[in-house]
Structure 1
Amino acid sequence: MFVKIYCYHIKSDNTEAYLTLQKEAAAIYRKYIDSETTYLQCKEEPTKWMEMTKYASEEEYNKKIVLINENQEINELYKTFTKLLVEEKSEVLEENYFIVRND
């Protein structure tokens, strides 16, 4: 399994808008690819969020993300997302992982 992790800071007063936006984005992603996303809000630093999305494989993700990125609606949602970020911490960190089972 392939996992994408994003870390970013959302303005405190934009939490509801953020969650609504993520729900809309997830619906678009599901049209193209099977995925499961978890959103984590940091207990000590409430503006800090982590988004973890699982995909069947990196190959499948790479094929489908091209189509997703061509979607006009997802591009508009991303523009809105960037407006929700804390300005001083507007960097979005992105990392790739594999789930390794040690059974």
Structure 2
Amino acid sequence: MFFKVYTYHVKPEREQDFFEIQAQAENVYSRFVEKQSLFLRSKDDNAKWMEIQIYKDENSFNESIKIIDQQKEIIDLYTRFMKLIISKEELIEENYEQILIT
């Protein structure tokens, strides 16, 4: 499995917009790739979020994101998303792979 992990801070007064953007983005992604998403809010800082996207493998992510990133709806949603996070500099994107230990 392949994991994309994002951390960012959402302006508290924009949280409802955040939920709407994420729901719309999930709809777009679902047309091109099978994935699961988890959204975690920090218990210590309610503006801090972690988003975990889970894909079958890295190749399925790479192939689908080429198409997804060209969708006008995703471009518009990303622009809206960037306006509701507190700091663009604090937006962190990381890649992980699942390691099975037996």
TM-score (norm 1): 0.94
Which letter maps to 2:30?
Answer: R
Displacement, 1:90? 2.3
Task: Tell me how far apart the structure 2 counterparts of residues 15 and 22 of structure 1 sit (CA, whole Å).
Answer: 11
Unaligned stretches of 5+ in structure 1?
none
- In structure 2, what is the equivalent of residue 96 of structure 1? 95
Q: How many positions carry a matched residue from both structures? A: 101
RMSD: 0.8
- Percent of matched pairs sharing the same residue: 33
Runs of 4+ in 1 over 2 A off after TM superposition: none
Task: Tell me how far apart the structure 2 counterparts of residues 90 and 41 of structure 1 sit (CA, whole Å).
Answer: 18
TM-score (norm 2): 0.95
Q: What are the residue-to-residue correspondences of 1:57-76 with 2, within 5 Å?
A: 57-76=57-76
1:17 lines up with 2:33 in the alignment = no
Contact 1:9–1:90, Cα closer than 8 Å, also in 2: no
Task: Tell me how far apart the structure 2 counterparts of residues 58 and 42 of structure 1 sit (CA, whole Å).
Answer: 27
SS in 2 for 1:32: coil
Unaligned stretches of 5+ in structure 2?
none
